[in-house]
Amino acid sequence: MANEALLRLDGVSKRFAGGVLGLDDISLDIAEGEFLSLLGPSGCGKTTTLRVIAGFEAPTAGRLLIDGRDITTLGPAARPVNTVFQDYALFPHMNVAENVGFGLSLRPLDAAERRRRVADALARVGLAEKADQRVQALSGGQKQRVALARAIVCQPRLLLLDEPLSALDANLREQMQLELKRLQRDLGTTFVMVTHDQTEALSISDRIVVMNRGRIEQAASPATLYDRPATRFVASFIGAMNLLPGRMGPGEAAGATVEAGGMSLRVPLPAAPPVPPGDILVGIRPEDVQLGSEAGAAGAVPGIVEGTSFHGRSLRVHLRLAGGADLIADVSRSALPSAVVQGERLFVSIRAGAACALLPADR
């Protein structure tokens, strides 16, 4: 993936009729060949961002540039951008090949070149043998592949995907996630996908933009978002996270001592500490919480089990610590000494070296 920005959003805002603010001063660079996901709850601005990039919505303020060229006032057809819609938007009166080749029919290409491109696009999505079939005869996953083939056949610089897998069942959705990533890697095309599914975004994106109330909360790699969320919103939105009031001492080369939930933790610090010493909010992932029937681990504190939920080979245990804080732990069932029951007293500790998130207490 190259470092230069293919697409730049420069201070983009969008205000709808009635004064509703959809986007609030969004600035973002998207690199050539990047798979980027826009992630957030309903109404956060992710779909509005996609529509502004596509040219379906005009920004109220700011600019959009592709390869340094200002495209803010250009319509959708004049932009080197194609969109895959959530509902596929296939033409029922056309067969598969005709659907895929529709965009090419509007371009000055001879028939042989159109046929070659359509065949290549269908081969890339694994539907070469379906070229003459009617779209009504296809499964949901096959219709999604046709929509992808129709989008890539015009060789766009940027491909936009509006929750493309939301209509598929869980197993097919996971399969199509792998197919999407493979296709993007093979083509080298920049993909920008809107999704509300955290697992989907984490599994296939090079970078994720987490949005909330029309603004960008954090844009980072999946690992950075998971291990080093920048705000309380990101920490609570990306996966499960325990957020405990705490206090941090002065940082040193080896890390900082953090007090939270009655526990004293030695936390590794990033190159630049995100918060100064003092009152903070400490984020701890459930898988970093360890449980035992005895206070074997250093710094372990007692907690009372308030409930459990079955997660396959792991068990999610909900606890109330002695100081009153709530905590959840994801523990392998084989690692537990016995069946865990409500009201049981267990000892809680945090895995050494866990990437705890350190956040300002007021955010």
Query: pLDDT by residue (tens digit) across 23-72?
Result: 999 999 999 999 999 999 999 999 999 999 999 999 999 999 999 999 99
Ordered DSSP codes for 6-44: EEEEEEEEEE-TTS-EEEEEEEEEEETT-EEEEE-STTS
Average pLDDT of the chain to the nearest whole number: 89
Q: Could you tell me the pTM of the whole model? A: 0.89
Rounded to 10 degrees, the C-alpha dihedral 209/212/215/216 comes to -20
What topology does CATH give the domain 5-227? Rossmann fold (3.40.50)
Ordered DSSP codes for 269-290: --SS-SS-SEEEEEEE-GGGEE
What topology does CATH give the domain 240-360? OB fold (Dihydrolipoamide Acetyltransferase, E2P) (2.40.50)
Helix (H) or strand (E) holding 321: strand 314-321
Cβ within 8 Å of residue 196, ≥6 positions away: 39, 40, 41, 42, 46, 163
Query: pLDDT by residue (tens digit) across 275-296?
Result: 788 899 999 999 999 998 887 7
Q: How far apart are CA 52 and CA 65, in angstroms?
A: 12
Domain boundaries, the chain: 5-227, 240-360
Burial (CB count within 10 angstroms: exposed 0-12, middle 13-18, buried 19+), residue 298: exposed
Cβ within 8 Å of residue 258, ≥6 positions away: 246, 247, 248, 249, 264, 265, 266, 267, 280, 282, 356, 358
Q: How far apart are CA 225 and CA 203, in angstroms?
A: 12
Query: pLDDT by residue (tens digit) across 96-136?
Result: 998 898 888 777 788 888 889 999 999 998 899 999 999 88
